Structure 1
Amino acid sequence: MDKNVENVVSQLRAREERGLSKYGVNTERTDLSTLEWLQHLQEELMDGAVYVEKIKQELLEK
């Protein structure tokens, strides 16, 4: 087995547990429209872009 894949799977399982504990639902929920799902995705991707920019700036400052 690829240990990188195994690490990602493990992290996904942990994230699933935290999300279910925090929000009481998972991605099998049916109360969101396609547009609402896309909004959630867009927000997550924007957060990711901010994290990438922060790390880039830290590396440039070294």
Structure 2
Amino acid sequence: MSRIEEEVCKKIEQRAKVGLSKYGVTMETAPLSRLEWLVHAQEEAMDLAVYLQKLIEMEVE
């Protein structure tokens, strides 16, 4: 595995720990429906789109 992939894995582990601490559940044990998971994923994707737009605008300025 590359250094970059290892860094991503570390960040995933850190986020999992934060999520467990904050919500008291893991991705496996979170009692969400399929629709709720889809909505969460969509919200995350929309946040990413906003971040990307901001970065694009910063590059154009």
TM-score by length of 1: 0.90
Matches within 5 A, 1:1-62: 1-61=1-61
How many residue pairs are counted as aligned between the two chains? 61
Is the partner of 2:54 in helix, strand or coil?
helix
Superimposed CA distance per residue, residues 16-59 of structure 1 (whole angstroms, 9 cap, x where no aligned partner):
11111111111112521111110000000000000000011011
Structure 1 moving runs of 4+ over 2 Å:
none
Query: How far apart are the structure 2 equivalents of 1:30 and 1:24?
Result: 9
Pick which of 1-10 and 27-36 moved more: 27-36
Query: How far apart are the structure 2 equivalents of 1:50 and 1:8?
Result: 21
Query: Is there any run of 5+ residues in structure 2 with no aligned partner, and where?
Result: none
- Which amino acid in the other structure matches residue 55 of structure 1? L
Percent identity (aligned)? 48
